[in-house]
């Protein structure tokens, strides 16, 4: 069974963000897309897929949605992306940010 998670920049816990909260951009679109491509190429064989927020939603992406299983190897990939984008990982099943 897979899970869904989102990489965003947030400086507070999920429950304190409020209904009208909008995450700031993760960075310039090309930088974010290049990072995801670079990291996911190495992640071949892992149970993980990524989707960068579309241009129609925001010129510079505010979120990257992941689906998959958060095993040890997948967590390494997610941690690397979060670290390089100075972002956090929100786990939909946990209903909050988790440590990778």
Give per-residue pLDDT as tens, 39-60.
Answer: 888 877 888 999 999 999 999 9
pLDDT score of 24: 92
Identify the bridge partners of residue 98 per DSSP, sorted by sequence position: 89
Q: Where are the beta strands (DSSP E) in the chain?
A: 3-8, 48-52, 64-68, 88-91, 96-98
Residue 88 confidence (pLDDT) above 60: yes
- Assess contact for 75 and 58: CB atoms under 8 A: no
CA pseudo-torsion sign 42, 100, 97, 31: negative
pLDDT of residue 21: 80
Q: Report the alpha-carbon distance of residue 85 to residue 31 in Å, rounded.
A: 9
Environment class of 1 (CB within 10 Å of its CB; exposed 0-12, middle 13-18, buried 19+): exposed
- pTM for the model: 0.90
């Amino acid at each position: 069974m897979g899970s869904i998670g989102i990489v965003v920049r947030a400086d507070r816990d999920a429950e304190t963000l409020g209904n009208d909260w909008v995450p700031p951009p993760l960075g310039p679109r090309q930088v974010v897309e290049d990072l995801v491509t670079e990291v996911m190429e190495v992640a071949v064989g892992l149970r993980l897929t990524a989707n960068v927020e579309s241009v129609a939603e925001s010129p510079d992406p505010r979120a990257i949605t992941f689906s998959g299983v958060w095993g040890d190897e997948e967590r390494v990939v997610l941690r690397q992306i979060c670290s390089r984008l100075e972002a956090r990982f929100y786990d939909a099943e946990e209903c909050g940010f988790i440590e990778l």
